[in-house]
Amino acid sequence: MIANAFDYTAPQSLDEALTLIGNGAKPLSGGMSLIPMMKLRLASPEHLVDLGRLKELSYIREQDGELHIGAAITYYELESSTLLLGKCPLIAETATHIGDIQVRNMGTLGGSVAHADPAADYPATLQALEAKIVLRSATGARTLSTKDFFLDTFTTALEPGEIVAEIIVPIEPGLTGTSYQKFRQPASGFAMVGIAARIRQQAGTLSLIRIGVTGLSGSSYRATNVEAALEGKQPTEENIRAASALVGDGVDASADLHASADYRQHLATIYTAKAIRAALSRSA
């Protein structure tokens, strides 16, 4: 459990970091995923550039009707941000489901997004929020939707030299309720399935339904068939169940020691209904 030798740089500025990363160095944020892999020598980067200390990546601010979150913001900062709790509670709530407090003190939103662990919590939430992901490199910046960013198991649209710089989430419109519900894998605490729900309820009718899913398969996704099945419907238990049952349709569910594909599918259905109910209970 000893890493191979590596160089470490704590850059003074984002520009310096981007230059180093452009030259092949690997970003380090909270280190909660990267360091364990290095200690097992499953990962052996030659040069680490520490983004976690950059003030330029550490902010949460409201701008042009949206919330901008720097990649180096930690889970603890997310869960305790009054700005987020007031204007986009789902993103704060999700942090409380992650690991233990030590992990939340270190792990970052940018790191989680870049890592794209198929059982990580934030991808589901960002899918449901239709977040935008801002990528930067020494030569420029681009903004992607979650759909275009999360490609597959541990695979994202990040190109060599690029980092996740910022996540943009919407300020929740009125009458919207959100919730993240997670069934933990008992050993790791990661999501066996995790469902983020975001729903608007007006005069007994549902609209703007967004369901983000993690854990069920190799990559997070938006369960658009669940969304469509509820659009314009009334929030009856029957409607919720019928729609939730669609969450894993056509999805190649994962299987491992902890859960078979069938069980995961089943949990996804149960937890989708749970998340929808909880979101509804929070929509004014």
Ligand X SMILES: Cc1cc2nc3c(=O)[nH]c(=O)nc-3n(C[C@H](O)[C@H](O)[C@H](O)COP(=O)(O)OP(=O)(O)OC[C@H]3O[C@@H](n4cnc5c(N)ncnc54)[C@H](O)[C@@H]3O)c2cc1C
Q: Report the nearest approach of ligand X to the CB of residue 175 (Å).
A: 29
Q: Could you tell which of another protein, ligand X, none binds residue 107, using a CB distance below 5 to 8 A set by kind?
A: ligand X
Q: Does 71 bind ligand X (CB under 6 A)?
A: yes
Comparing CB distances to another protein, the nearer of 45 and 52 is 45
For residue 12, which phi and psi values (nearest 5 degrees)? -85, -25
Strand partners, 108: 74
Using alpha carbons only, give the angle 112, 127, 144 rounded to the nearest 5 degrees. 80
Q: Does 260 bind another protein (CB under 8 A)?
A: yes
Length of the chain: 284
Among 102, 59, 276, which residue's Cα sits nearest to residue 189?
Answer: 102
- Provide the pairing of β-strand 47-50 with 26-28: parallel
Q: Could you tell which of ligand X, another protein, none binds residue 145, using a CB distance below 5 to 8 A set by kind?
A: none
Question: 205-264: which residues touch ligand X (CB under 6 A)?
Answer: none
Instruction: Determine the residue with CB nearest ligand X.
Output: 111
For residue 200, which phi and psi values (nearest 5 degrees)? -105, 140
Please name the amino acid found at residue 115: H
Q: Does 38 bind another protein (CB under 8 A)?
A: yes
* DSSP at 215: S
Q: Report the nearest approach of another protein to the CB of residue 260 (Å).
A: 7
Please name the amino acid found at residue 47: H
Among 85, 146, 76, which residue's Cα sits nearest to residue 107?
Answer: 76
Q: Does 157 bind another protein (CB under 8 A)?
A: no
Comparing CB distances to another protein, the nearer of 120 and 169 is 120
Q: Does 59 bind another protein (CB under 8 A)?
A: no
Rounded Cα gap, residues 273 and 125, in angstroms:
16
Stretch in the footprint of another protein (CB under 8 A) among 8-16, 64-72, 110-118, 201-209: 110-118
Contact set with another protein (CB under 8 A): 1-2, 4-5, 26, 33-34, 37-38, 40-45, 115-119, 152-155, 183, 185-188, 190, 217-218, 252, 254-260, 263, 266-267, 270
